[in-house]
Amino acid sequence: MRFAVVCQSRTHAMLMLQALGVSADEIVFAVESESVERYLKRQGATVVRGKLRDRGLYREILPAKLLVVSLRDQRRLRGVLEAITRERGETPVVALSQVPRERLSFDPADYPWVHIVPVGDRFRATLRHEVRLARARILVRRLREILDDARRVLVLLQDDPDPDGLACGLALRTLMGRKRARMPMGSFGRVTRPENKQMLRVLDLEVQLVTNETLANFDRIVMVDTQPPHLRAELPSVDAVIDHHPVQTSYEVRFKDVRNSYGATATIFTEYLRAEGVKVNERLATALLYAIRADTMMLDRPVTEADVEAFTWLFRRANLNWVRRIERPALPAETLEAFAEGLRGARIEERVIFSHLGPVSREDIIPQLADFCLQVEGVDWSVVSGVVGDELSMSVRNVGFVQKAGAIVKSAFDDLGSAGGHRSMAKAIIPLAHLPSGNAGRPGDELCRLLEERFLAALRGEPAPGS
Ligand SMILES: [Mn+2]
């Protein structure tokens, strides 16, 4: 079986010969014009000539592997579809349209068997992407002019560097073809969040702690994912700023690319890299992908076409196992034991699952078990606690459509230690000295009863028992 194409002009015929990507003798064309017929025959294609509204024409070219309708005059599409209706059989039909579906002169629902492709929209989106890359080339050239003759360049990140800043630092270094020693990343603060620390480990990244004095060791300073007014430190002159936070005007800089509509600065850097044709290895792709994911909550926050484009491109190049390792640090075997113990003693009351782990060697298994327990059927809340050193640490999770976790935990435990959090996640830290001692956390003992009673009272809006 051959491919079948309906078209009106030589241009469309030429495009289809290229687009189908098969040799001309594997295509049969239905055309009206004699000159198009002559052209196609010279290319080696089979041609049937007749009126495009004539059903007989389609009896000659169908069935086919695929029938593509590519008309110059969109107003004739309906007539062609009408003529094909009874002849199409099992042949898949694609109609290329220059106008979007909603601007067709007929209701496409009348022809549910045809797949209408608005090529104009697709082409415009592609063009917008290419225009962004063309602009990026100009920007990268200006950036190179500023950095090329510098011996040491500092990539300055926000005070508690996050995945977007870290990924952009690595991207800038790759873009400029520099090694770590000649373009280190630095910050006035330290990486504190566990996932971000894990990102440093998995992707082998380093951030130097800088001070106003050590800044003098660098010939140039580039800030990524942040702008000078965001830092508490008084900065000397900064040479370049690449960011996506709202633009600040209170500073002077030689190079500034701030795009507030973008979901992540990593998207800007992905455009720079693609525009320059720089090889993006697995490590860099993973860093940038993770950055877009983290900054846009998995594309759940407002993003642009550019973010989605960058994400899709990076997704094919990134190592998804590394992404998983960053997001969810692997549990050592001994914590499984604690997990099992915690589940054995778990109790469900008023749609809340309680589990107390007793003394734990790693604090992070408490939130992990809390996440896990929320999957239990009939449970809206999970409350998991454990003893870390001389404190009790508690993680609370809920399914999201109930009361705010932060407020509940605060009202239940604020008087005993520190407590608070967000809508669906919260945490409390209570010094053991403020809790009943004894056998420290067997299910049903005084400590566990106190935690359960206080939490349930807070859920019901009652005052904490014994407070
Ligand atoms: Mn960011």
Q: What is the pLDDT of residues 158-173, one digit of tens each?
A: 998 999 999 999 999 9
Q: If you measure from the C-alpha of residue 275 to the centroid of ligand 1, how many angstroms do you get, rounded to a whole number?
A: 21
Q: If you measure from the C-alpha of residue 301 to the centroid of ligand 1, how many angstroms do you get, rounded to a whole number?
A: 12
CB 302 within 8 A of CB 278: no
DSSP conformation letters of 420-447: EE-SSEEEEEEEGGGS--SSS--TTSHH
Give 107-152 pLDDT, tens digit per residue. Answer: 999 999 999 999 888 888 899 999 999 999 999 999 999 999 999 9
Q: If you measure from the C-alpha of residue 202 to the centroid of ligand 1, how many angstroms do you get, rounded to a whole number?
A: 20
Q: If you measure from the C-alpha of residue 150 to the centroid of ligand 1, how many angstroms do you get, rounded to a whole number?
A: 26
Distances (CA, A) of 331 to 202, 336, 427, 466: 15, 7, 21, 37
| H or E segment and range at residue 358 | strand 352-359
The pLDDT of residue 385? 94
Q: If you measure from the C-alpha of residue 44 to the centroid of ligand 1, how many angstroms do you get, rounded to a whole number?
A: 55
Q: Which mean pLDDT values do the consecutive 10-residue runs of the chain (467 residues) have?
A: 94 91 94 96 95 96 96 93 94 92 90 92 89 97 97 95 97 97 96 88 96 94 95 86 92 94 96 98 98 82 88 96 84 78 90 92 85 90 93 91 90 92 87 76 78 95 79
Q: If you measure from the C-alpha of residue 159 to the centroid of ligand 1, how many angstroms do you get, rounded to a whole number?
A: 13
Backbone angles phi, psi at 381, to 5 degrees: -130, 145
The pLDDT of residue 177? 97
Distances (CA, A) of 50 to 15, 17, 55, 122, 157: 21, 20, 10, 31, 67
Distance (Å, rounded) from C-alpha 154 to C-alpha 151?
Answer: 10
The pLDDT of residue 348? 94
Q: If you measure from the C-alpha of residue 227 to the centroid of ligand 1, how many angstroms do you get, rounded to a whole number?
A: 11
Q: If you measure from the C-alpha of residue 216 to the centroid of ligand 1, how many angstroms do you get, rounded to a whole number?
A: 26
Q: Which residue has the tokens 């007749």?
A: 50
Residue type, 383: V
Q: At what angle do helices 194-203 and 282-295 cross, to 10 degrees?
A: 170
Pairing of strands 391-398, 352-359: unpaired
Q: Which residues contact 18 (CB under 8 A, 6 or more apart)?
A: none
Domains 3-112 and 130-325 share a fold: no
Q: If you measure from the C-alpha of residue 266 to the centroid of ligand 1, how many angstroms do you get, rounded to a whole number?
A: 7
Distance (Å, rounded) from C-alpha 87 to C-alpha 426?
Answer: 63
Q: The tokens of 118 are what?
A: 């608005």
Q: What is the dihedral of CA 296, 299, 305, 308, to 10 degrees?
A: 110
Q: If you measure from the C-alpha of residue 295 to the centroid of ligand 1, how many angstroms do you get, rounded to a whole number?
A: 6
Q: If you measure from the C-alpha of residue 244 to the centroid of ligand 1, how many angstroms do you get, rounded to a whole number?
A: 6
Q: The tokens of 308 are what?
A: 């989605």
Q: If you measure from the C-alpha of residue 263 to the centroid of ligand 1, how many angstroms do you get, rounded to a whole number?
A: 7
Q: If you measure from the C-alpha of residue 264 to the centroid of ligand 1, how many angstroms do you get, rounded to a whole number?
A: 5
Q: 3-112 — its CATH code? A: 3.40.50.720
Nearest of 194, 189, 172 to residue 266 by alpha carbon: 172
Q: If you measure from the C-alpha of residue 276 to the centroid of ligand 1, how many angstroms do you get, rounded to a whole number?
A: 22
Q: Is 175 helix (H, G, I), strand (E, B) or coil?
A: helix
User: Looking at 157-292, which runs of residues are DSSP E strands?
Assistant: 185-187, 207-209, 220-224, 240-243, 255-258
Q: If you measure from the C-alpha of residue 160 to the centroid of ligand 1, how many angstroms do you get, rounded to a whole number?
A: 12
User: For the chain, what are the domain ranges?
Assistant: 3-112, 130-325, 333-460
The pLDDT of residue 152? 97
The pLDDT of residue 421? 82
The pLDDT of residue 56? 96
Q: If you measure from the C-alpha of residue 211 to the centroid of ligand 1, how many angstroms do you get, rounded to a whole number?
A: 23
The pLDDT of residue 335? 77
Distance (Å, rounded) from C-alpha 31 to C-alpha 368?
Answer: 65
Q: If you measure from the C-alpha of residue 212 to the centroid of ligand 1, how many angstroms do you get, rounded to a whole number?
A: 24
Q: Which residues contact 430 (CB under 8 A, 6 or more apart)?
A: 391, 392, 394, 413, 416, 417, 419
CATH fold label, 130-325: inorganic pyrophosphatase (n-terminal core) (3.90.1640)
Which of 298-309 are b and which e, b meaning 16 or more Cβ less than 10 Å from the residue's Cβ? eeeeebbebbeb
Q: If you measure from the C-alpha of residue 251 to the centroid of ligand 1, how many angstroms do you get, rounded to a whole number?
A: 20
Q: If you measure from the C-alpha of residue 279 to the centroid of ligand 1, how many angstroms do you get, rounded to a whole number?
A: 23
Q: If you measure from the C-alpha of residue 367 to the centroid of ligand 1, how many angstroms do you get, rounded to a whole number?
A: 25
Q: The tokens of 210 are what?
A: 């800088």
User: Looking at 110-201, which runs of residues are DSSP E strands?
Assistant: 114-118, 153-156, 185-187
CATH fold label, 333-460: Diaminopimelate Epimerase; Chain A, domain 1 (3.10.310)
Q: The tokens of 168 are what?
A: 């952009």
The pLDDT of residue 120? 83
Q: If you measure from the C-alpha of residue 225 to the centroid of ligand 1, how many angstroms do you get, rounded to a whole number?
A: 5
DSSP code for 87: T
The pLDDT of residue 381? 96
Residue type, 182: R
Q: If you measure from the C-alpha of residue 396 to the centroid of ligand 1, how many angstroms do you get, rounded to a whole number?
A: 28
Q: If you measure from the C-alpha of residue 166 to the centroid of ligand 1, how many angstroms do you get, rounded to a whole number?
A: 10
Q: If you measure from the C-alpha of residue 158 to the centroid of ligand 1, how many angstroms do you get, rounded to a whole number?
A: 10
Q: How many CB atoms lie within 10 A of CB 290?
A: 25
Q: If you measure from the C-alpha of residue 223 to the centroid of ligand 1, how many angstroms do you get, rounded to a whole number?
A: 12
CB 190 within 8 A of CB 160: yes
Q: If you measure from the C-alpha of residue 262 to the centroid of ligand 1, how many angstroms do you get, rounded to a whole number?
A: 9
Whether pTM > 0.75 for this model: the answer is no
Q: If you measure from the C-alpha of residue 91 to the centroid of ligand 1, how many angstroms do you get, rounded to a whole number?
A: 48
Q: If you measure from the C-alpha of residue 311 to the centroid of ligand 1, how many angstroms do you get, rounded to a whole number?
A: 14
Sheet containing 114-118: give its strands across: 46-49, 27-31, 3-7, 66-70, 93-97, 114-118
Residues across the chain: 467
The pLDDT of residue 425? 84
DSSP conformation letters of 153-172: EEEE--SS--HHHHHHHHHH
Backbone angles phi, psi at 183, to 5 degrees: -150, 70
Q: At what angle do helices 265-276 and 282-295 cross, to 10 degrees?
A: 150
Exposed/middle/buried for residue 426 (C-beta within 10 Å: 0-12, 13-18, 19+): buried
User: Looking at 169-239, which runs of residues are DSSP E strands?
Assistant: 185-187, 207-209, 220-224
Distances (CA, A) of 279 to 126, 133, 319: 21, 15, 15
Q: If you measure from the C-alpha of residue 152 to the centroid of ligand 1, how many angstroms do you get, rounded to a whole number?
A: 24
User: In angstroms, how far is CA 20 from the centroid of its own chain?
Assistant: 33
